[in-house]
Chains A and B, each alone.
Chain A
Amino acid sequence: MTIKRKILAAILALALPLASPVLASEQAVTFVQNNVSKVLQVLSDPALGDVQKGKLFSEVITQVTDVDVIARFVLGQYAATASTPEFERFARVFRGYALGVYQSELSRFGNEVLEVQSVQERKPGDSVVLTRISGGALSKKSRDVKWRVITIKGTPRVVDIEISGVWLSQHQRAEITGIITKNGGQISAATKMLCSQSKTCTVTG
Chain B
Amino acid sequence: MYIRTPALILLLLGPVLSSCASAQNRTSGDPLEPLNRAFFGLNTNIDKAILIPASKTYRAIAPKPARNGVRNFLQNLRSPVILANDVLQGEWKRAGQTVSRFAINTTVGVGGLFDVAKGAGIEKHKEDFGQTMAKAGISSGPYLVLPLLGPSSLRDAFGRLPDHYLTPLAYTRFDGKNTFTTARRVASVTDKRARSLKAVKKMRQNAFDEYISVRDLYWQTRKNAIANGQLEVEELPEFDISNAQPAPINGTSP
In the complex, what residues of B have CB within 8 A of residue A167's CB?
220, 236
- The distance in angstroms between the C-alpha atoms of A162 and B233, with both chains bound, is 12
Q: Which residues of B196-225 have CB atoms within 8 Å of chain A's CB atoms? A: 206-209, 212-213, 215-217, 220-221, 223-225
Choose one: A60, A69, A155, A193; the contact of B240 (CB below 8 Å).
A69
Which range holds the interface residue count of chain B?
35 or more
Is A59 interfacial (CB 8 A cutoff)?
A: yes
CB-CB under 8 A for A179 and B233, given A69-B244, A157-B247, A166-B217: no
Per a CB cutoff under 8 Å, which of B208, B221, B231, B239 touches A176? B208
Q: Is A175 an interface residue (CB 8 A)?
A: yes
Contacts of B251 in A (CB 8 A): 59-60, 62-63
User: When each residue 53-89 of chain A gets 1 if its CB lies under 8 Å from chain B and 0 otherwise, what string results?
Assistant: 0000001101100101110110000010000000000
B246 close to chain A: CB less than 8 A: yes
Report B249 CB to chain A, min CB distance, Å. Answer: 10
Q: Find out whether the CB atom of A175 lies under 8 angstroms from the CB atom of B216.
A: yes
CA distance A100 to B253 in the complex (A): 17
Chain B residue numbers with a CB within 8 Å of A170 are: 216, 220, 237
List chain A residues, Cβ under 8 A from B245: 68, 153
* Chain B residue contacts of A63, Cβ below 8 A: 248, 251
Q: Are B240 and A179 in contact (CB under 8 A)?
A: no
The answer to whether A182 touches B209 (Cβ under 8 A) is yes
- Contacts A59-B251, A69-B241, A181-B27; A166 near B220 (Cβ below 8 A): yes
Taking CB atoms, residues of chain A closer than 8 Å to B253 are 62
Q: Mark the stretch among A8-16, A44-52, A120-128, A131-139 that contacts chain B.
A: A120-128
Main secondary structure of the interface of B (DSSP, over half): loop
Q: How far, in angstroms, from A121 to B26 measured CA to CA in the complex? A: 25
Say yes or no: A165 contacts B229, CB within 8 Å. Answer: yes
Q: How far is the CA of A144 from the CA of B228 in the complex (A)?
A: 13
Given contacts A128-B236, A167-B220, A170-B216, contact A179 B209 (CB under 8 A): yes
Answer yes or no: B254 CB below 8 A from chain A CBs.
yes
B231 and A146 form a contact (CB under 8 A): yes
Q: Which residues on the B side are within 8 Å of A126 (C-beta)?
A: 239
Q: Which B residues are CB-close (under 8 A) to A197?
A: 206, 208
Contact call A171/B217, Cβ cutoff below 8 A:
yes
Most buried by B among A128, A176, A177, A178: A178
The residue among B208, B209, B243 with the most chain A CB atoms within 10 A of its own CB is B208
Closest 7 CB pairs of A and B: A165-B224, A174-B216, A155-B247, A178-B212, A122-B233, A165-B221, A152-B244
A-B pairs with beta carbons under 8 Å apart, 15 shown: A62-B253, A63-B248, A66-B241, A68-B245, A79-B240, A121-B233, A122-B234, A122-B236, A155-B247, A164-B221, A165-B229, A166-B224, A171-B220, A176-B208, A181-B27
Known: A66-B241, A166-B221, A175-B212. 16 other contacts (CB 8 A): A62-B248, A62-B251, A66-B244, A69-B244, A73-B237, A73-B240, A120-B233, A122-B236, A150-B239, A152-B241, A165-B224, A166-B220, A167-B220, A171-B213, A175-B208, A178-B208
Chain B residues with a Cβ under 8 A of chain A: 26-27, 206-209, 212-213, 215-217, 220-221, 223-225, 229, 231, 233-234, 236-237, 239-241, 243-248, 251-254
